Amino acid sequence: MRRFLFTLMCCGFVLTACDKGPPPPPVVVFATGEDGDALSMLLADFSDDTGIPVEVEWGDSADNADKLINKLGRPADVLITDNVADIWRAADRGALRPILSESFGPMHDALKDPDGVWAAIEVRFQSIAHANKTRPLTIRLDDLGSPEFSGRVCLSSSELSINRSLIAYLVDERGVKEAERLVRRWVRNLAVPPFATEAEMATAMQSGQCDYGILGVPSEFEGVASYMPERQYIDISAAGVGRHAGNPEAGQKLVDWILKKRRMEYHGNVEPVFAGIAGWRDEDARLLAERAGYR
């Protein structure tokens, strides 16, 4: 009798397991993020909400875009970059497909591709920063290159997308020559060589090595304040669905879910500059920084 009951219990377990069916195939994500832990948690929340597993291949943003463009390795369902240049390049090379999401339409035009193949999932604004002990002045980006700021300016590396995208915007607005003249003036006014990270630059400002700099916001550096320049230049992280995705439906669900969660809306009195310009002008900005000695 006991053996019979045990057999019935086993059969019931098997039937219950069969009722659930096999797990859905995973969504494959090529990802880069300045805050990898936050992005990991976001993707884990997606799996919890939908039951769709996520397999992430972490890597350099440019390398991930190249893999997608050149169809190297397994197909990516979703590409997440930490800058607009790499997502823009993937779109330009035809490696992305249109995003299907109700949240895409209402997004501000500055935060999305006009052809619908990529969208911002995080926005950072370029700002002029000053040490709290410094008497704050309402200055412009041009002022950072004026003689009175000689030896008072700090910058982080031009390799950081927050700075490279700013140069790209200036190239688009002013032309290469005028933008380069301004960047050269910034470099002449540096108190110390450019820092590898914004955090290191903020530490230099806190210690009194320099008074002013360019910083992405939002930021949480104590002792450093910031305000927007005359134009609202933006730097973004972005997502798109792979053209050759192996699991495109799951890829669309993930991007749609992220856009709903992040709600990339813009409410402000000044229109931000279209993020795609920074992607289009990225190579111009890289070469300009190299010529100007801005490393």
Domain extents in the chain = 26-123+234-272, 124-233+279-291
Joined together, the tokens standing for residue 197 give: 């990270």
What is the distance between the alpha carbons of residues 71 and 95, in angstroms, rounded to a whole number?
9
132 vs 96, 145, 202, CA distance in Å?
A: 44, 21, 11
What is the distance between the alpha carbons of residues 15 and 38, in angstroms, rounded to a whole number?
38
215 vs 163, 203, 229, 250, CA distance in Å?
A: 8, 12, 11, 36
Joined together, the tokens standing for residue 105 give: 């339409």
Residues 6+ apart with CB under 8 A from 229: 126, 127, 128, 140, 141
Concatenated DSSP letters of 78-113 = EEEESSHHHHHHHHHTT-EE----TTTTTS-GGGB-
Joined together, the tokens standing for residue 225 give: 């304040």
Joined together, the tokens standing for residue 33 give: 């993020």
Q: Is the fold of 26-123+234-272 the same as that of 124-233+279-291?
A: yes
In CATH, 26-123+234-272 is 3.40.190.10:
yes
* Contact by Cβ (8 Å): 130, 275: no
3-class state of residue 207 by DSSP: coil
What is the distance between the alpha carbons of residues 98 and 74, in angstroms, rounded to a whole number?
20
**pLDDT truncated to tens, each residue of the chain (295 aa)?**
333 333 333 444 344 444 566 788 999 999 986 666 889 999 999 999 999 999 999 999 999 999 999 999 899 999 999 999 999 999 999 999 999 999 999 999 999 999 999 999 999 888 898 887 666 567 889 999 999 999 999 999 999 999 999 999 999 999 999 999 999 999 999 999 999 999 999 999 888 899 999 988 766 787 787 877 778 899 999 999 999 999 999 999 999 999 999 876 665 666 788 999 999 999 999 999 999 999 9
What CATH code is assigned to 124-233+279-291? 3.40.190.10
